[in-house]
């Protein structure tokens, strides 16, 4: 195979790379921005897709973000690739902030009924029912809607002009290049 590693990465190494990039967070985020700008869809579709991904990244259902983002983008007519890139808004650095904001917003929406209390999740969480997680999950699920909509609106407003500017500049460069080639200049 052409682009295969000589030695396969171990499972632990692959997990480490998912949690912490090889190079740096800034390089990884620049890569996502470049990929986003180069999508060939309309700026509106790219921005809608990215907003769908950002919205789904705020939900407390880890492991479903990409599928959820793709489905939302498909329903609202956004770019599915941009939606998957938008889920990268949620990462180990931003999840604590997102979880705190969604929990507090949900608690506020529930009238402050959920009291802060110690919940022991260390023993048998997967063997027992959802009842142990529900005091945390209920306000987070409810709170992710307004916080997610706000983040989606902000990301739409930021991404659409960025993609429009890139596509306009790229079109202008291609026109200049084709004009030079028609004149016989290199």
Q: Is the pLDDT of residue 1 over 60?
A: no
Q: Let me know: does 158 contact 50? Beta carbons within 8 Å.
A: no
CB atoms within 10 A of CB 59: 19
pLDDT of residue 124: 61
* pLDDT number for residue 54: 94
For residues 128 and 174, give the distance between their C-alpha atoms in angstroms, rounded to a whole number.
60
Please give the backbone phi and psi of residue 172, each rounded to the nearest 5 degrees, phi first: -65, -40
Residue 29: pLDDT band (50, 70, 90) is confident
Domain segments of the chain as ranges:
23-160
Nearest by Cα to 157 from 61, 60, 17, 44: 44
Residue 47 has pLDDT above 90, yes or no: yes
The number of residues in the chain equals 186
Question: How much is the pLDDT for 129?
Answer: 63
Structure tokens at 35: 């990929």
Q: Which two tokens stand for residue 182?
A: 């028609």
The confidence score (pLDDT) of residue 45 equals 92
| Cα–Cα distance for residue pair 60/40, rounded to 1 Å | 31
Span 140-160, pLDDT tens digits:
999 999 999 999 999 999 999
CB 49, CB 86: distance < 8 Å: yes
Q: Region 147-175: what's the mean pLDDT?
A: 91
Q: Which residue has the higher pLDDT, 54 or 26?
A: 54
pLDDT in tens, 54-98: 999 999 888 889 999 999 999 999 999 899 989 988 888 888 899
């Amino acid at each position: 195979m052409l682009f295969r590693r000589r030695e396969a990465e171990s499972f632990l190494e692959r997990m480490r790379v998912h949690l912490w990039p090889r190079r740096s967070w800034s390089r990884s985020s620049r890569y996502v921005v470049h990929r986003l700008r180069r999508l060939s869809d309309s700026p509106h579709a790219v921005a809608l897709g990215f907003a769908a991904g950002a919205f789904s990244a705020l939900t407390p259902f880890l492991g479903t973000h990409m599928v959820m983002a793709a489905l939302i983008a498909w329903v609202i007519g956004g770019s599915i690739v941009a939606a998957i890139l938008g889920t990268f808004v949620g990462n180990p650095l931003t999840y604590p902030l997102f979880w705190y904001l969604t929990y507090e917003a949900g608690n506020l929406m529930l009238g402050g009924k959920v009291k802060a209390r110690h919940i022991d999740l260390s023993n048998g969480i997967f063997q027992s029912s959802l009842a142990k997680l529900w005091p945390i999950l209920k306000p987070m699920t409810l709170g992710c809607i307004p916080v997610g909509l706000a983040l989606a609106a902000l990301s739409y407003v930021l991404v659409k002009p960025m993609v429009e500017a890139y596509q306009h500049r790229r079109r202008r460069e291609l026109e200049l290049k084709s004009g030079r080639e028609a004149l016989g200049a290199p």
